[in-house]
Every structure is written in structure tokens, then in C-alpha cells.
Chains A and B, each alone.
Chain A
Amino acid sequence: MTLRKAKKWEFRLTGVGRLCENARVFILPKMCFPLRDGVREALSKNCGGAMKILKIIPEKCTGCMRCELACSYEQTGTFQPSKAVIRVSSFEGHTSYAPYTCPQCDEAWCLTACPVEAIGISPAGAKDVADDICVGCKLCTIACPYGTMFYDIDTHKAFKCDLCGGNPACASVCPTDAIVYGEADKTDWVGPFAAERAKSPAGPLAGVI
């Protein structure tokens, strides 16, 4: 088991509080929100039953980027948004934002493309890469039509959203419920929001510096 995998439970248990504490060192104070009500209860809840996914409600996103930080910490043990597997995009001159991550699609393009069967489905229902089998050929990165398969140049392995084993860090730290982990249809959560902004009279990227 790699460090990356082992860290998950450690993080979950000692959790969000420590994330905020560490995050203060690295990020602007405005991003350190108090622990949201109910997070700890949610963390301890059993994740059995129908599949839960990450519901994204971009209208609620403030662009605080805590999801990226929590995700990168969970996935790699470092606060490095470039290694997050959830990514926030800005629209309309940084006045609106949309987080985006793997929709855990039914076709599982990454899984079927893998020539060494390194990608499986975890108990949480997430497509997950087994680091000891992945050779780093990147076929999954071109097979995935969602752009949510990533390659870590330091480990030479593919990596992706694995729903943090059933307790996704991004949803836990989101202060505005823009990312919610729950039972829902797999749908294009961000598309209509982004399309609406593209049609803005000032153009899709008005105001971007």
C-alpha cells in the first residue's frame, strides 16, 4: 500500500481540522473557514447502499479553492492544487466559479482502456488506479473523454478521483455546499452553468486579467 493510499484514513480520522491548520501556512487567511456544521457526523456515516457521487452546484461555489487543497493533500500528502483531481475554473472575470472532477461515468473509459487492468472499481463505486499495477502508459488519459484522468510525473503513475474511499475531502471542506457527496444521478453538473456564462454579452472571458 502506498503512502498515498494509507494517508486517506489518517486524514479522515484526524481530519479537516488539521487540514485547516496546515493550510494556514500555505494559503490566504480568507480561505480558512470554520469547520462546517455536520461535517464530522458526515465523516462517520456509513457509506453503504446506492452509489453516492459528487454533486456539484456551481452557483454556490465562491472560488475559495479549499476543495483543490483538500484534494491534493488527500491524494498526495501535499497542498498542491496542481495535483488535485478536482479543479475549479473561473468564469466572467473571476466572479463565478465551477469545480469539476471525474463523474465516475458508467462506461468507465479509463478502466476499459487500461492495457494492464490497473483500474478497478472501489467499494465506494469509484474507478481507482492500483499504483503497483499501473505502468504509466497514459492510455487512460487519452481514453477518458472528460479530462479527469491525470498523470503524476513524480510517481510516473496515472491518478484520478477515487472519492477518497467514500468520504471525499472536497465535499467535506466545501464551506458553501457547492460540492455535496450523496446519492444522485450522474449528470453534467457544470455544463449548463458554464454554457450560460459563455453567452454573456461581454463574451465568455470578459474581465479576465
Chain B
Amino acid sequence: MARHVIVGGGTAGWNAITTLRELDQGDSEIVLVADETPYSRMVLPYYLARDIAESHVYIASPPKLAALNVDARFGARAARIDASASKLILEGGDEIEYDNLLIATGSSPVKAPVPGADGENVHSFWTFPQARAVASCVGEGARVAMIGAGFIAFTILNALVNQGVKLTVVELESRILPRMIDDTGAGIVQDWLNERGVEVRTSTQLASIEDKGDAKLLKFREGSDLEVDLVIMATGIKPNIDWVAGSGLETNQGILVDAHCRTNVANIYAAGDIAEGPDAVTGDKVVHAIEPTAMQHGRVAAANMAGQEVAYKGSLLMNIVDVLDLEIASFGAWDDPDAEVFEAVRAERPAYRKLLFHGGRLTGAIILGKTREIWTTNDVGMLKGLVYTGADISEWKEHLRGNPFDVKRAFLASGAAGDLLPETVLGRPSISAHEIAVSS
């Protein structure tokens, strides 16, 4: 019986486990090596908002893993790989032999390298313990500094503001959400935040964090000091790649994988934030540290581990976040300087739409507008479908040049739905994780 060893129990690891069981109904050995009990990072903002109970955060719970006949080694950490002997060596020296190894060790937050960054009440928001620590400091009137204005910061912005926090967002770069939207979009979001009592400081570099009684005093290279009760460091993440050094795996930013999520070693796969695989639009190898890519990588890697030859098209960069009922989403190569760009701003709504074309194909998009407005929330999936399929919408280009908000008919006429319908990752209809049964 084949033994699949999976390192990391996040989205990629969990999806690999369910996919393996979906395909083999229990006819393989699965060992999960995870240093913490698995949980869904994506829902931590809702935990912080006090919308959901702690139990809601655990997805790959020990009972579910047991029901799928997974040998889960919680608290274990992988130390290195002996690829020539197909062995994983754990910290402490234990060895696990494998037929297939999946590396899904995710990424870790990086704090701004300033004095005081490791002090009390300075937290990243990445792990469940960190989310708990932040939640314990958040309440009506608490003064909070968010260092970094990227996607992670924005996912928890609602939870903070809605609980009466006095929030200041500080960004090193010249605009907020620098890797998700362009200057025009960022300007609209910044105005929206300012109107709702959130202070935003861009082009501002944190210099140090000092203690001032129970409070924290932040000093910057530019601008006035800031006194707060809590500092949240949302200053980026990096793949947890150090432990694979010396294993013979090819790496760049992440571990390089092909369209099968396979590394340069035939029986070693990588998935999720740690994998650097093909981009669906450009074909270039990239790290997409986003939930949908982790899910897709996990499924594709597992299908191949189970013996199916599954190549996927590549991952699509996409993000969606709402900020106090302003919806922000982007897809694909939204910042491509070589693309033909159609854009429109309706400042009074506010709403913004940007479509990026190469020939008759949409290769990227930005969508921004009130969550309540039909034109915002209805179009996100269709824009994704157009970018992902690369369907030809030449006939509609002139119309979209005049009104980039009206994509629906172009989508319907594109044939994208017809291209997509036969497509399945596993070569058969997907089922819910709840339906996966393991034969005893």
C-alpha cells in the first residue's frame, strides 16, 4: 500500500488529504506531519470579529482526520528530506519513509525589522494563537496601529473598526493595497476609509516601537509619532522554505513545481504558499500565496500522487476583500504595463472598473464598488471566468471600451461557460468533503 506523507495541515494539505481519499477510498496510507492542529486561516478575521466560535475555525479536526484514516502526527516538525532514500526526517530524529511526499508548509509572517517589533502587544495576524492575542486586545476605544496595508491587513479591518477601534493604517509604499489594486483604486479606498474615521498614512516607514507606560509609541522616518495600545504587523509573509535546503529541491522564492505540482524530484510535490508554480495567465512560475491556489494545488498534487496524470492550467492571481461595505477585487495580470487598458471611474458612487486586454482576451481586471451595488458583486465571477479561460471577446471590445462596467453580455457571448463546463480537475464531478467515505 502506497504511503503518502503530507507535511503541513493548512488548506493545501487538507485538500490533498480529502482528494486522496476521494480517489482511493482509503486504499493508501496517509501520514500528516503538522506542528499545530489544523485550522482555516481564511476565517480568522471572522473569529476576530466575534462572528464565529473558536470551534468554527477548525476544519481538519482530529476526528475528521481519524475518520479519513489519516495518521496525524500533531506537534511534529519536519527537519529535512533525504530524497535519495525517500525519507522525511523529523525534528528529534524520527524518520518516515514515503512513496510520495507533499510539502505544504505554508508561509510565515515577516515583521518590520525595527527596534521593539518583538515587544509586548505587537502581533502579526497570521496564526490562530496570534489571532487570539489580537482579539484579546481589541475593544471599544482601543487605539490600534496596523503596519502594512496589504490584503491581510484589509481582511481584518472590518473586524477592528466594527468593534470601535481607533485605527491608523501605515503603509511603506505610496498607496494602500499595493499588490492588489492600482493608484486609482487605492485612492478611492483611501478616501472611503478616511470618511469613516480610519487614518491612513502612506509612504511612511516605521522606525521604532517604544513602550510608554502600558501604551506603545511608534516613531516613523516621516511624520509625527503615534501612541497606540496595540500594534498589528501585517508587513508581508514569506514561504517556510528554509528546512528543505540541502534536499536537492529546486527553489526560487518557493519550491519550483510543474503543472502537476511536482518538484524536480519525481515523488516529491509542493502545494500552496510554499509552491512556485505556473500562472494561468502568463505561464511564468510564481508564488500565489492565496487560498484558492492552496486548494487547487492540494487537489492537483494529490491526484498525481494517487497515480492520475493531472496537469492543471496554472493558478490565477485573485483577491477579494470588502472594506466597510466597499468591495475590492482583482484578477490576473491587473498591473501589466503592456496591456490595452479600458477603465472608468464613477467617483460619486464610488465605483471603479479596469479591464486589461491582450488582443481580444481579457488578461486582468480590477473591480471596485459598494458591496450593495449589483454591478460590483455580480461581475466578479464573470471577470474571473473571462480571465481564466482567455475566451475571445473581440466583438465586445468597443462596447467595453465605452463602458467597462457592462461585462455580463460579453461573458455570456464569449463561450467561456461552454469551455469551462467539461473541465474537472479529477476527471469526474467534485464531491463535498462531508461525503468522502473510507472503506474499513
Binding site for B on A (CB under 8 A): 82, 87, 89, 91, 98, 100, 103, 105-108, 111-113, 115-117, 119-121, 133, 135-139, 141-151, 153, 186-188, 190-192, 194-195, 197-199, 203-205
Q: Name A195's contact: one of B52, B291, B379, B413 (CB within 8 Å).
A: B413
Q: How far is the CB of A103 from chain B (nearest CB, A)?
A: 6
Cβ-defined contact, B415 with A113, below 8 A: no
B347 in the interface, Cβ–Cβ < 8 Å?
A: no
- List of A residues within 8 angstroms of B409 by Cβ: 89, 91, 194, 198, 204-205
- Tell me the interface secondary structure of chain B in the complex: helix
| A121–B413 touching, CB < 8 Å | no
Task: Name B30-46 residues within 8 Å CB distance of A.
Answer: 40-43, 45-46
Is B11 on the interface with A (CB-CB < 8 A)?
Answer: yes
- Give the docked Cα–Cα distance between A38 and B325 (Å): 44
Query: Per a CB cutoff under 8 Å, which of B11, B372, B412, B413 touches A153?
Result: B372
- Interface flag for B56 (CB, 8 Å): yes
Chain B residues bordering chain A, tally (CB within 8 A)? 66
CB-defined contacts of B371 to chain A, threshold 8 Å: 151, 153
Shortest C-beta distance, A90 to chain B (Å), equals 8
* A103 contact set on B, CB distance < 8 A: 417, 421
Which residues of chain B in 362-400 are interfacial with respect to chain A, using CB atoms and an 8 Å cutoff?
Answer: 371-372, 374, 377-385, 388-389, 395-396, 398-399
With contacts A115-B291, A141-B320 taken as known, whether A107 is within 8 angstroms of B425 at the C-beta atoms is: yes
Q: How far is the CB of B405 from chain A (nearest CB, A)?
A: 13
Q: Is B331's beta carbon under 8 Å from chain A? A: yes
Would you call A142 and B295 a contact (CB within 8 A)? no
Q: A119-B432, A139-B292 are in contact. Are A204 and B11 (CB under 8 A)?
A: no
Q: List 13 A-B contacts (CB under 8 A).
A: A103-B417, A113-B295, A135-B43, A135-B46, A142-B381, A145-B382, A145-B389, A147-B382, A190-B412, A191-B413, A198-B409, A203-B398, A204-B413
Provide the bound-state CA to CA distance between A191 and B395, in Å.
14
Query: Across the two chains, which residue of chain B brings its CB closest to A200?
Result: B395
Complex Cα distance, B425 from A52, in Å, reads 23
Known contacts A89-B412, A135-B43, A150-B377; A142/B429 CB under 8 A: no
